[in-house]
Amino acid sequence: MQELLLDTLGFLSDDSYEFSFRKAEAPVQPRELYFPELLDAFQENDEVALFSGGVDSFAGAVDDIITLGKSVTLVGHYSSTKVRNVQEELIRDLKSRGYERRVSYVPVWVSNEVAKPVEFTQRTRSFLFACLGLVVAQMSGKNRFSFYENGVVSINPPLAGDVVGGRATRTTHPRVLRGLEALFSTLLDSDRVSRAARTKPSRCSA
């Protein structure tokens, strides 16, 4: 388990990691702490997908909901009200066009606002996002969730001379997706945690 975590995070960000685990004194936190507006109705949807509110995630949501006719639970992570406002506006637009019954939105607030940041990039944000997707998928009785991502970005080309490796973002690089799949499957003692990395958009599994 620890080797999977080290390898996946190391490739994702080009950093070296070391972990020391201990048993939590209060292992169960109330879900309202991170999911203050969670509704149980989303569990009937066909898919669970990560939703940042950017072009790629919105395109993927539109493809699933409108083109393929699926119902989707969109998991939106935000650390500021500005990001959440964008996500909510896009969800409202979808619902106002007659797709209210096909879309559920689960906003998750996670922030390090009480700590002074020492790292200003977001190279490992996708790991946090994937963990949130896994939690919501499991709460929905599903063993897979989707990343929506641009296929060119997924193969991690160097975008500029000083933007290479982890700096060019490996969010949905195949090696990262396979690492997440193996890690989540091991964590849940499952043969397969959904690999949802579609690179038209992109998808991950448990």
Domain boundaries, the chain: 2-8+43-205
- Distance from C-alpha of 124 to C-alpha of 128, rounded to nearest angstrom: 7
At residue 192 the predicted structure's pLDDT band, cuts being 50, 70 and 90, is low
Q: What are the C-alpha distances in Å from 105 to residues 66, 84, 96?
A: 16, 11, 14
Q: Which of 26, 27, 65, 63 is nearest to 45 (CA)?
A: 65
DSSP string, 146-187: EEE--HHHHT----BTTB-GGGG--TT-HHHHHHHHHHHHHH
Is 47's pLDDT higher than 70?
yes
196 beta partners:
146
- Distance from C-alpha of 188 to C-alpha of 141, rounded to nearest angstrom: 13
At residue 206 the predicted structure's pLDDT band, cuts being 50, 70 and 90, is very low
DSSP element (H, E) containing 26: none
Q: How far apart are the two ends of the chain, measured CA to CA in Å?
A: 14
CB 180 within 8 A of CB 8: yes
pLDDT digits (tens, 9 = 90+) for 69-94: 999 999 988 777 888 899 999 999 99
Is 98's pLDDT higher than 90?
yes
Average pLDDT, the chain: 80
Q: What mean pLDDT is predicted for residues 134-138?
A: 90
- Return all residues near 190 (Cβ < 8 A) that are at least 6 apart: 143, 184, 206
The reported pLDDT for the residue numbered 31 is 63
DSSP string, 52-119: -SSHHHHHHHHIIIIIS---EEEEEEESSHHHHHHHHHHHHHHIIIIIGGGEEEEEEE---TTS--S-
Is 130's pLDDT higher than 70?
yes
Instruction: Please give the share of the chain, as a percent, with pLDDT higher than 70.
Output: 72
- Distance from C-alpha of 164 to C-alpha of 187, rounded to nearest angstrom: 31
The reported pLDDT for the residue numbered 171 is 81
Q: Choose the CATH number for 2-8+43-205 among 1.10.3470, 2.60.120, 3.30.310, 3.40.50.
A: 3.40.50
Q: What mean pLDDT is predicted for residues 2-12?
A: 89
pTM: 0.79
